[in-house]
Amino acid sequence: MILLKAIWKILRLTALLPIYAVLKLIEWTCNLAQSLSGWIFRLLGLLMMATAVASWGLHLEMGREVVRMLVAGLIVFLLPMLGEFIIVGIMLIEFPIRQAIKN
């Protein structure tokens, strides 16, 4: 019985270790891309929203165009959150695999 448990543990480790390594590599890559581009997208989104408000305040654009610019700025501003959700999803997949490797 002890021999079967040891064999099962070795087989589980052999099967799950490459999957864990690939998930960790994907997580690091997404983390790097999100951290490098996150501040650029947030700055660009804020700039678009500020331009919309300023053009409305100075009566350069009317309501429909201002709303379009505000929505586009909000989407660009929230785009880094999509990257964060992807990273969290990868971590949720990775956690049970890490626990199975440890046990």
Which three-class secondary structure state does DSSP give residue 53?
helix
Whether 71 shows a pLDDT value over 90: the answer reads yes
Domain ranges (residues) in the chain: 26-102
What mean pLDDT do residues 2-24 have?
84
Provide the b/e sequence for 13-33 (b: ≥16 CB within 10 Å): eeeeeeebeebeeebeebeee
How do residues 80-99 score in pLDDT, each as one tens digit?
A: 888 888 888 888 888 888 88
- The pair of structure tokens assigned to 97 is 């695999």
Whether 1 shows a pLDDT value over 80: the answer reads no
